[in-house]
Structure 1
């Protein structure tokens, strides 16, 4: 089964997570099919805490991928956050 889940990166005591699509049989930090964004739980100042490509998440869920509980929670946060206005070209 294909899952949308977190992979851990960063240093000791400073976690950083990539949101990825992977086969559930792969290791947590193993091979990924696609990277959809990141989550930085210890972001400070102007650092972005969550970046997520919602369109790609919708696509993967549409073709049968399952989101983990934490990714589903982050997806809701990203959907609720105000989107920055696009600059006129």
Structure 2
């Protein structure tokens, strides 16, 4: 069974509240899960202790069983010191799209013609 440690959304519209859960990766995001491992409230201040609460022992148990954390949960685990920090690199994020590249080229041509 492919296990994931991920966020399950709760709360009302525009007031998100997440549960950190261990679930089968084939289950829906807010569907059935095996165990609730903690909570995450993004509306609280970043330095608040209540923003992220995790049962560290159970998280370590599920990681030992082969559960893979999602990107966001992996960041929580890195901050808690349960997982070593990984280097993230997205070189395509800084590359402009086709339309913006055309506009930048036209702007450069106009600047060269004005000189």
Same fold (TM over 0.5): yes
Matching residue of 2:34: 33
Q: Distance in 2 between matches of 1:51 and 1:15?
A: 15
- For these two proteins, the number of residue pairs brought into alignment is 79
Normalised to the residue count of structure 1, the TM-score between the two structures is: 0.81
More helix by share: 2
In the alignment, structure 1 segments of 5+ residues that lack a partner are 81-89
Q: How does 1:1-89 map to 2 (within 5 A)?
A: 1-43=2-44, 48-79=50-81
RMSD: 1.7
Question: How far is 1:77 from its partner?
Answer: 2.3
The 8 Å contact of residues 9 and 16 in structure 1, kept in 2 or not, is answered as yes
In the alignment, structure 2 segments of 5+ residues that lack a partner are 83-115
